[in-house]
Chains A and B, each alone.
Chain A
Amino acid sequence: MAVAATLSQRKRVKRKAPRGFLRRVFKRRKPHLHLGTRCDLLVHLNCLLFIRRLAEESRTDACKNKCGIIKDQHVLAAAKVMLKKSRG
């Protein structure tokens, strides 16, 4: 009701979540599972947070090595830490 009303005013969502992509990926990996209605939005949120932390981690790594550019070894090191942290 109210949601529809607001959506009609502004039809362009900034930073859309690739819902179709997420659903497809999940379906591909776990074909026997179903993904809930709005779960892909939360998955998108999860990815955003993961990437944010990864980016900050790699930025600190690059700054530690006094590099002006983020290189893949920084990203790799950061990813190791992050994947451990977000092991769940």
Chain B
Amino acid sequence: MADSDLSDNEPTTRTLLRHVLDTEAPRTPRRRQSTRAGVQRALPESPFSMRLRSQTKTTPRRQSHRARSIGRLAPHIQSKGQLKEQTPRTLLENILLTAPESSMVMPESVVKPVPAPQVVQLSSRESSPGSLDLQLPELNPPTAMAPSLLTSGKRKKRLRLSEFQQGMDQGLPLSQGPVMEPPANTGASSLTSSLNLTFATPLLPQSVQRPGLARRPPPRRAVDVDIFLQDLQDTSVATALPGDRTPVATLPTDTVLEDTQPFSQPLIGRSPSVHHSLPHPSLSAERTVSRRTRSSGPGLQNNSPEKPAQLLAGKAEKVDALAMGFPNTSNGTSAEDELKPLLDRDGEEVEEIMEESMSLDEVKEAAGAQASARAEEPEAHMEVTEAEGSWGAVEAKEPERSSRDKDAEARPELASSAPDIPQARQLEFLEPAPSTSTAGLSAEPLPARLPTRVRTAGPRLRQDPYKMGLSHYAKLFSFYAKMPMEKKALEMVEKCLDKYFQRLCDDLDVFAAHAGRKTVRLEDLELLMRRQGLVTDRVSLHVLVEQHLPLEYRQLLIPCAFSGNAVFPAQ
């Protein structure tokens, strides 16, 4: 744009506006007192405004104008208490006052300090109530003065800068030769040098701050490894364990879902269902030790309930607690509900599976699963109690079991690191499942019981993932109910869901058979929902799908037309 006749170097919007304001006659009369007050107000403002302005030439003019404008504003403010009069002029002035000036060429830092005092002088000079007539002459002198001001300012700035730079040179390693010297074109290079300097310093604090923001690798606990190694040695040493058997691994229970704590304390001796199934290496060592001591003592019978309890506990942190739990569990007085059925089942298992203990051992060796170890333990115990002769056999099994347990525990430990522990356990249980399913243990787990049971790998296999799936829906139930619920209620919900699944499968079977098909299709499902009263003439299946399923499933279920005359999913 062409330079205004005010000979501004950069015709910024601000300068143009200013020019407009200057040339335009003010509408409101100016009052002396107000102007003086405005001037006083302007004076402290001037340095600030000067900082905002990069152009020294126009600054004095602006100062005067600002003083005048402030003076103009002052009466408004004083008289009306608020800036009620909103003329375009006042608005523009406000904008000019408040908006920071940004110059493309000249950074403000140069202009700042020097012109301020001089501008103050100017403003003071011009602050005297000036009429319109004065404006023009004021304009001229300021323009005349401006260049001199500029040069003087720059010279001063240069000097200051050079001094500063010298000081900085000594202090900072960031000395730039050419930059530091007073530049030929005065302002710019000095400014750039100052700018460089200024920019240099903040780099340091940033770099200092970086480490704080930098990501550190999460601190790993080395203790576990040490303990693990110790336990490995211990277990390798303590191969012969009388009585107490297998420490077995952790029983997967659907409590795994609920309890996310890796090492939760046992409530009383062992709280099997509540505890996380993560096996702790130290525990095995402790258990083996404790078992040795315990087995040495009388009461192998205690061991049998003890073992399953141990199994249930998964990782009972305190072996002492376990030891204490022995007598408790033997009485079945433990507070845990799960222990009772466990004990009952243990009795049943023991009676039923005694003869199968040997086969189970073999299976266990083959499978290496902990479940069978657990199952064997009670049986082994019972055997021992009943026939001392089999003691040796039990002991023979023990080393295998312990070694297997060690391996098994090592495996689950590794697996436990993975997020899905239940699945890992499921895999382990899968192995012994087929073999033990035939055992015909009282497999029918009480549907109300959570799968804390050790009973046998068979029913457990069916139960654990099944229970987990059911508990997934039970959680949804508690969400939909929006009311606090008892745990028994949740179990009841799981029972109902079980029955519901049975009915669902039967109905789908009937519908598919009616259609002469062996595959259940979407239309069977729709028919089922229609019969249930979910889908009516008013509410279609698609509406329900849209309401209750997430987007990805909706896209899969509801056919939608896409470009190219394609429909997905294809019908």
Contacts and interface: CB of A to CB of B under 8 A. Distances in A.
Contact of A69 (B485, B520, B544): B485
A72 B550 contact: no
Contacts of B502: 29
A72 B522 contact: no
B549 interface: yes
Nearest to B511: A88
Contact of B469 (A18, A30, A38): A18
A45 B549 contact: yes
B548 A39 contact: no
Interface stretch (B117-125, B282-290, B321-329, B523-531): B523-531
Contacts of A59: 481-483
B482 to A, nearest CB: 7
A50 B497 CA distance: 9
Contacts of A72: 486, 488-489, 491-492
Interface stretch (B45-53, B201-209, B551-559): B551-559
B489 A55 contact: no
Contacts of B531: 87-88
B105 interface: no
A13 B484 contact: no
B533 interface: yes
Contacts of B524: 39
A45 B492 contact: no
A54 B477 CA distance: 8
Contacts of A69: 483-486
A46 B505 contact: no
B501 interface: yes
Given A15-B550, A59-B483, A41 B556 contact: yes
A42 B557 contact: yes
A68 B493 contact: no
B496 interface: yes
A38 to B, nearest CB: 6
A55 B518 contact: no
Interface string A37-56: 01101111111111110111
B484 A68 contact: yes
Tell me if A's interface is mostly helix, strand, loop or mixed. Answer: helix
Contacts of A66: none
B462 interface: yes
Interface string A4-36: 001100000111111001101110111011111
B518 A58 contact: no
B175 to A, nearest CB: 52
A42 B534 CA distance: 12
Contact of A28 (B462, B499, B534): B462
Contacts, number: 180
A49 B544 contact: yes
A24 B465 CA distance: 10
A46 B294 CA distance: 53
Interface residues of B, number: 66
B410 interface: no
A86 B502 CA distance: 12
Nearest to B569: A38
Interface in A53-88: 54-56, 58-59, 62, 68-72, 74-76, 79, 82-83, 85-88
Interface residues of A, number: 59
Nearest to B487: A72
A76 to B, nearest CB: 6
Contacts of A6: 551-552, 555
B486 A1 contact: no
A46 B505 CA distance: 12
B551 A30 contact: no
A75 B503 contact: no
Interface in B512-571: 512, 518-522, 524-526, 528-529, 531-534, 541, 544-545, 548-553, 555-557, 560, 562, 566, 568-569
A41 B557 contact: yes
A74 B491 CA distance: 13
A2 B551 CA distance: 13
Nearest to B527: A88
Contacts of B549: 17, 41, 44-45, 48
B491 A58 contact: no
A71 B492 CA distance: 9
A46 to B, nearest CB: 6
B74 to A, nearest CB: 59
Given A1-B566, A54-B496, A88-B528, 19 more contacts: A1-B568, A13-B550, A13-B553, A21-B465, A25-B469, A33-B508, A36-B520, A36-B522, A39-B520, A39-B525, A51-B493, A55-B482, A69-B483, A70-B481, A71-B488, A72-B489, A79-B492, A87-B531, A88-B532
Interface of B: 462, 465-466, 468-469, 472-473, 476-478, 480-486, 488-489, 491-493, 496-497, 499-505, 507-509, 512, 518-522, 524-526, 528-529, 531-534, 541, 544-545, 548-553, 555-557, 560, 562, 566, 568-569
28 contacts: A1-B566, A2-B555, A15-B550, A18-B472, A25-B466, A25-B469, A28-B462, A33-B508, A33-B512, A33-B519, A36-B522, A38-B522, A42-B526, A42-B545, A46-B525, A46-B529, A46-B532, A51-B480, A54-B477, A55-B481, A69-B484, A70-B481, A70-B484, A71-B486, A72-B489, A76-B492, A86-B503, A86-B533
Q: Which 9 pairs show the lowest CB-CB distances between chains A and B?
A: A55-B480, A21-B469, A88-B531, A42-B525, A79-B496, A55-B481, A34-B519, A72-B492, A72-B488
